[in-house]
Structure 1
Amino acid sequence: MNGITANPTLKNQLDQYTWSWKSHQIQYTVMGAGQPLVLIHGFGGCIGHWRNNIPTLAAGGYQVFALDLLGFGASSKPPINYNLKLWQELLYDFWSEHIQKPTIFVGNSIGGLLSLMILVDHPEISRGGILINCAGGLNHRPQELNPPLRFIMGTFTKLVSSPAFGPFIFNQVRQKHRIRNTLKQVYINKEAVTEELVEIIHRPSCDAGAQKVFASILTAPAGPHPSELLPKIKAPLLVIWGENDPWTPISGAKIYQDLADKGGSIQFKPIPNTGHCAHDERPTIVNSLILDWLAQQ
């Protein structure tokens, strides 16, 4: 631990520490004692996105870690090529240095996909996984989009990566009113879209290097699809899904539903009237589902 910092965006302060990884500064927090859990945020997220989960899970008898992935939150934002393998390596090294006990990996969106990757590639460090609206990839694969949208997204990513237009486009995307409007599209419970949440997402976008991180991620490879990873996983899984998620619709959860219906080590828990970030939108429900499932393991 290289120091404790306060995050001014959080009303309920979490002690945050800085860890040096490959000469980059990684922000993380830890609370509680017991079986370790690692919480992994999604695109645009950070430690603060778990502010309504960490204290409850820690009080339930678990040692809860959460970190800002490289390029996000208060972690460094170097001008490098970002991809899922980079973050997977970061998470493995974090576990090796700070935990060193079999761990439950909990992820939302791309954090869920990273959790699956760790369970497949590093089963020796994993006791299980909890996926919350798991992403199908870091980006949409071209074949997953219809031709008009494929053209639009292709043009947009070229413009975002352009030295001439990229900074201007990013500055428009990161405006607080646009962040608020985006959140209201993916949160069905509009009361959860607070000014605190908007600030949690907006603040890191003001850091030097944030625009290049954004451009790099939008042009990065999609990575493995969950359907490639699931057959290789032996550890137990809890899959939580906000049924009204416009980004990863409930139809995308069919592979998990089918496996759960067959029995075995996977449980599937849909949450009605909930969007992409169920842990933040319905924290009381999600915390209860997680604690109940953990008690069974």
Structure 2
Amino acid sequence: MITEQQVIGVFDKLTWDWKGYKIGYTVMGTGQPLVLIHGFGASIGHWRKNIPVLAAAGYQVFAIDLLGFGSSDKPPLNYTMEVWEELVKDFWTAHIQQQAVFVGNSIGGLLSLMVVANHPEIAAGAVLINCAGGLSHRPHELNPPLRLVMGAFNRLLRSKITGKVLFNRVRQKGQIRRSLMQVYRDRTAVTDELVDLLYQPSCDAGAQQVFVSILTAPPGPTPAQLLPKVKCPLLVIWGEADPWTPINGAKIYQDLSATGQPVQVKPIANAGHCPHDEAPDKVNPLIIDWLAEIG
């Protein structure tokens, strides 16, 4: 089995105490601070193809394991977007204390948008990579049959017996690989390293409770609610072949860009939900060039 240390290579794995919980993070490089925020089920290691490149380009790159994920503690809490927003804001206060660019994928993208919208004083910009529309589906977004199915699924998740069965099935390496094959267009990017990176934290005590809490949590604010409050520049990167957050989700950002707002939208052809990992040779230069533009 590939260990987490092998996955994240030369990154220093550091810990920070937040409200009595251990939070894992890493930092590399010097210069303008960047804060990298992973998506659901991922961790610092999902940025392994980006951190060294961005640091070498002259930036101080922070990456954090959100509470409940990666090497961070997994306490039995009611997980919400607002809990993580407070965590990221407090992390900035403890470790950065100058305007930073927040870079997030999926749920991490929505969290980055929340941070720059609600705390503009700490934000120099944000990079949203296949930004999620919410932590979970809103009932009105589902057709009536699927709404009933999801309601029944949530009840099964909350059961001590069926919840454990469902979680153990979802976290099997074979199932993780099949899920990744659905959302990565380049299947050669779905490596044993990547599967292990997602599998290992699921073995930690408390991982099942975290899984249930997140899948049954409120969705949080929508990008449409947040964008009117955003004053800093945005770079929106979107893998065009993403079945989870389809490319039409980028329209709201394209419309904003058309009004003259400092928003750039960059589709990535032949890439899925995680283009930073699947196509880093395309994503890293986009981020570096945009950072140079905004100064």
The normalised TM-score by structure 2 is: 0.97
| Contact 2:8 2:44 survives alignment (8 Å) | no
Matched, 1:120 2:117: yes
Counterpart in the other structure of 2:249: 252
| Deviation of 1:232 (Å) | 1.2
Task: Indicate the SS of the match to 1:82.
Answer: coil
Give the aligned partner of residue 284 of structure 2: 287
| Residue aligning to 1:197 | 194
Unaligned runs of 5+ in 1: 1-5
1-structure distance, mates of 2:157, 2:129: 28
CA distance in 2, matches of 1:122, 1:225: 16
Write the distance in 2 (CA, Å) between the matches of 1:264 and 1:11: 37
CA contact (8 A) 2:33 2:101 kept: yes
Gapped regions of structure 2 (runs ≥ 5)? none
How much does 1:9 deviate? 4.4
The alignment of Structure 1 onto Structure 2 pairs a total of residues equal to 292
Residue by residue over 1:183-220, the C-alpha shift from the partner in whole angstroms, topping out at 9 and shown as x without a partner, is 00000011110000000000000001000000000111
CA deviation digits over 1:42-91, x for unaligned, max 9? Answer: 00010000000000000000000001000000000000100000000000
Identify the residue that residue 271 of structure 1 maps to in structure 2: 268
What residue number does 1:18 align with?
15
Query: If the length of structure 1 is used for normalisation, what is the TM-score?
Result: 0.97
Q: CA deviation at 1:94?
A: 0.4
Superposed counterparts of 1:233-244, under 5 Å: 233-244=230-241
Tell me the distance in 2 between the aligned counterparts of 1:88 and 1:110: 11
1:246 deviation in Å?
Answer: 0.4
Aligned to 1:149: 146
**Distance in 2 separating the partners of 1:71 and 1:122:** 23
The correspondence of residues 64-213 of structure 1 with structure 2, limited to 5 A, is 64-213=61-210
- Preserved contact between residue 8 and residue 45 of structure 2 (Cα < 8 Å): no
SS at match of 1:164: helix
Q: 1:28 to 1:11 in 2, by over 3 A?
A: closer
Contact 1:238 1:267 (8 Å CA) reproduced = yes
Question: Would you say the 8 A contact 2:36–2:61 is kept in 1?
Answer: yes
C-alpha distance after superposition, 1:141-182 (max 9, x if no partner):
011011121111111111111112111110000000000000
Which of 216, 220, 229 lines up with 1:219 in the alignment?
216
SS of the aligned residue for 1:107 comes to strand
Are 1:81 and 1:216, in contact at CA under 8 Å, matched by a contact in 2? yes
- Equivalent pairs: percent with the same residue? 64
Q: Distance in 2 between matches of 1:176 and 1:160?
A: 20
Whole-angstrom distance in 1 between the partners of 2:187 and 2:206: 31
Cα RMSD over matched residues?
Answer: 1.0
Deviations 1:84-114, CA, capped at 9 Å, x for gaps: 0000000000000000010000000011111
Q: Tell me if structure 2 keeps the 8 A contact 1:132–1:241.
A: yes
Matched AA of 2:203: C
